[in-house]
């Protein structure tokens, strides 16, 4: 299996944001972008390197690139939800867009900017795991302000198995979510056919980390494992409570108890009410009522 989890944002940038791995990043981006936005080459604007890591510990973990037509792309992997993440996403897009201009430059110099957010949590109400956001006229449905494009890829909404992968992005998301089950010596044919994935698996299998990198990776990996364990444990407890009731009314009560247990466990782990709302689909008011019960 791969030794490194690509969902840890630090590892994600080391894998996709290194100069030697642009042949991994490019097909990954083309799997996300619509047909009219496909790219043939790109230049990394903030490539990962050890010197940068030593000086600032990669406080900014996004990947920034420019393609051959001059369009700007920013890619982020986020393992944890943040309050007002939607606002943060817009701010990051606008920061990249505005910084294209230097002193004395005109607005005509501004190029289309595409933001891609790969999320290890549910953010939007949409059922699809990949959503593309643009600016439209609400009356005519006409797309305007063509320079804006934002993608969300919510990994927890993806559930297809190897036999039911239909798109390139399905295969890349399978790689991101099941890397711990993959090995360079036995890559499933459903993934091996996708350009870039075989090399990505090989890189994760052989990647070396220095002491500082290893410490940062292990800290983030522990957080990711703890979060997933908390949620799964609370769900199991809720299911057990529900089964123990036996009767229909008892089963319904058990489900409510399980939901309450899940929410209380998540709250004790440090998640805010708004973050719990994203995970459960309940409103903040409903969550607060269960916390007070």
Identify how many contiguous H helices and E strands the chain contains and give both numbers: 11, 8
Provide the domain count of the chain: 2
84 and 145 in one domain? yes
The crossing angle, in degrees rounded to 10, of helices 9-16 and 197-206 is 120
262 and 145 in one domain? no
129 and 260 in one domain? no
Side-chain-side CA neighbours of 116 within 13 Å: the count stands at 21
230 and 135 in one domain? no
Is residue 77 a contact partner of residue 9, using CB atoms and an 8 Å limit?
yes
DSSP, collapsed to helix, strand or coil, labels residue 226 as helix
pLDDT tens digits for range 93-146: 999 999 999 988 999 999 999 999 999 889 999 999 999 999 999 999 999 999
Is residue 65 a contact partner of residue 45, using CB atoms and an 8 Å limit?
yes
Beta strand spans in the chain (E): 42-44, 63-67, 72-78, 113-119, 130-133, 135-136, 143-144, 148-154
Ramachandran bin of 10, using left for φ above 0, alpha for ψ from -120 to 50, beta for the remaining angles? alpha
The crossing angle, in degrees rounded to 10, of helices 22-32 and 168-178 is 120
Residue 220, both tokens: 């983030």
**What number is the average pLDDT over the span 166-173?**
96
- For residue 162, the enclosing domain spans 9-207
110 and 18 in one domain? yes
Position 33 pLDDT exceeds 60: yes
Confidence (pTM):
0.74
Q: Is 151 exposed, middle or buried (0-12, 13-18, 19+ CB in 10 A)?
A: buried
Inside any domain, residue 1: no
Inside any domain, residue 115: yes
Inside any domain, residue 71: yes
193 and 139 in one domain? yes
256 and 124 in one domain? no
Is residue 81 a contact partner of residue 101, using CB atoms and an 8 Å limit?
no
Which range has the top average pLDDT, 17-26, 51-60, 283-292? 17-26
pLDDT tens digits for range 219-250: 777 766 766 666 666 656 665 665 555 444 44
159 and 52 in one domain? yes
Residue that finishes a domain, picked among 189, 207, 225: 207
Lowest mean pLDDT, pick from 69-78, 177-186, 204-213:
204-213
21 and 159 in one domain? yes
The crossing angle, in degrees rounded to 10, of helices 22-32 and 197-206 is 130
Is residue 75 a contact partner of residue 46, using CB atoms and an 8 Å limit?
no
98 and 45 in one domain? yes
Q: Is 108 exposed, middle or buried (0-12, 13-18, 19+ CB in 10 A)?
A: exposed
Inside any domain, residue 4: no
Find all residues with CB under 8 Å of 209, minimum gap 6, and list them. Answer: 4, 217
Neighbouring CB atoms inside 10 A of 100's CB total 16
104 and 63 in one domain? yes
Residue that finishes a domain, picked among 174, 207, 240: 207
Inside any domain, residue 3: no
Tell me what the pLDDT averaged over the chain comes to. 83
Residue that finishes a domain, picked among 152, 172, 207: 207
169 and 266 in one domain? no
């Amino acid at each position: 299996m791969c030794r490194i989890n690509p969902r840890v944002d630090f590892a994600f940038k080391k894998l996709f944001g290194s100069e030697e791995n642009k042949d991994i990043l490019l097909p990954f981006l083309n799997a996300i972008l619509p047909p009219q936005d496909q790219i043939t080459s790109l230049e990394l604007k903030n490539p990962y390197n050890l010197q940068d890591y030593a000086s600032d510990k990669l406080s900014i973990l996004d990947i920034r690139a420019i393609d051959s037509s001059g369009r700007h792309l920013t890619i982020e992997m986020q393992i944890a939800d943040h309050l007002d993440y939607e606002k943060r996403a817009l701010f990051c897009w606008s920061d990249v867009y505005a910084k294209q201009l230097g002193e004395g430059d005109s607005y005509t110099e501004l190029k289309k900017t595409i933001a891609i957010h790969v999320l290890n949590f549910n953010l939007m109400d949409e059922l699809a795991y990949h959503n593309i956001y643009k600016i439209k006229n609400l009356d005519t449905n006409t797309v305007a302000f063509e320079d804006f494009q934002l993608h969300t890829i919510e990994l927890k909404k993806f559930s297809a198995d190897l036999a039911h992968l239909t798109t390139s992005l399905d295969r890349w998301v399978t790689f991101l979510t099941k890397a711990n089950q993959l090995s360079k010596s036995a890559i499933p044919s459903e993934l091996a056919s996708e350009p870039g994935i075989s090399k990505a698996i090989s890189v994760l299998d052989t990647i070396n980390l220095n002491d500082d990198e290893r410490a940062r990776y292990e800290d983030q990996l522990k957080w990711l494992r703890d979060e997933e364990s908390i949620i799964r444990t609370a769900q199991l407890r809720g299911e057990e409570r529900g089964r123990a009731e036996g009767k229909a009314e008892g089963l319904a009560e058990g489900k409510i108890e399980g939901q309450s247990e899940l929410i209380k466990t998540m709250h004790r782990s440090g998640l805010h009410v708004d973050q719990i709302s994203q995970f459960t689909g309940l409103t903040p008011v409903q969550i607060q009522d269960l916390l007070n019960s």
